[in-house]
Every structure is written in structure tokens, then in C-alpha cells.
Amino acid sequence: MVPAQQRIVVHVDVDAMYVGCERELNPNALLHVPVAVSQYNPYGKLQETSSEEVDKRLIVRPGRPVNVSGDDINGSLIAVSYEARAEGVKRNDRGRDAVKKCPQLRIVQVPVKHGKADLTMYRDASYRVLNKLVASVKENAPSSQAGKILVEKASIDE
């Protein structure tokens, strides 16, 4: 065991990561605007979608007529951009409530596969972030410590 005075504990909060993933796929529609990612609503018209079907998964956007009382947009929000937070939108808000708070909000539904949320692209992004962090730590460590570095992942959700 490493003595406490030699340990370094770093907490990395990848806040709004799902929004970041969606912005990476669809920067023209989602950068610098209020965005939320919604878990699919099992009571809506659930359709299978892949992560590449960005336009199909963008279920709410300004300029597109929206039935704010419709079931398709009423999934729970699982990630909210800082722009949307500034307008009062919060994680766990329902889609229709979020649109009332922020009419400019764009809501992206997670991909759906086999009737369930397909979180593959978000997991892949998480691995990319973790691998970059580990590589950076090892790259910047003193050569005398290179083989002794231990990086542990812990998932602590709010």
C-alpha cells in the first residue's frame, strides 16, 4: 500500500458528457445552444435509432413544430448543457417542462436498440477520456515512478 503522503487523489467530473458526445456527432446543430439529452420515453412512439441517426434523434428543436404535450418528448433529461441550465433546465426534468422553461432547447434522444437505450457511444467516449487521463498521468510522471503508478476508476454519480 502506498503511504498516504505519496497518494494523489483526483476527482474528474465529466459533467454533461452525453451532451458533449451529441455535440461531437452534430456540431452544426448543437454547439453553443441549449441542449439536453433525453432517455427514451417508453410511452412514446419508440423507434430504434443508431447514434449516427442524429437528425432522427434530435426530437425537439426551434423552428420545428412541437406538440409540447406529446409523449415522445416527455422522457426524463439525463444530461443538460450549461446553456440550458442558465435557462432553468435541470437534469431529471421532463422534456415538456424543459421546453416550457427554454423554448430554444434542443432535445436529443439517446439511441435505442432492441427496445432499450443503447449507451454504446457514451461508454466508448468514457473509455477515450479515461485512456487519455491515464496516458497523461503516466507521461508526466517522474521516470522513477513510471512503473509504480496506479490509476483506479470509481463511478460516483450524483
Please list the residues that pair with 91 across neighbouring strands.
none
Q: Which residue among 52, 53, 152, 158 is the active-site one? A: 158
* Residue 53 appears among annotated catalytic residues: no
What's the sign of the alpha-carbon dihedral 38, 118, 112, 54? positive
Task: Say how far apart CA 98 and CA 81 lie, in whole Å.
Answer: 12
Residue entry with cell 487523489: 9
Q: Which residues contact 53 (CB under 8 A, 6 or more apart)?
A: 111
* 95 in Cβ contact with 73 (< 8 Å): yes
Catalytically annotated residues: 158
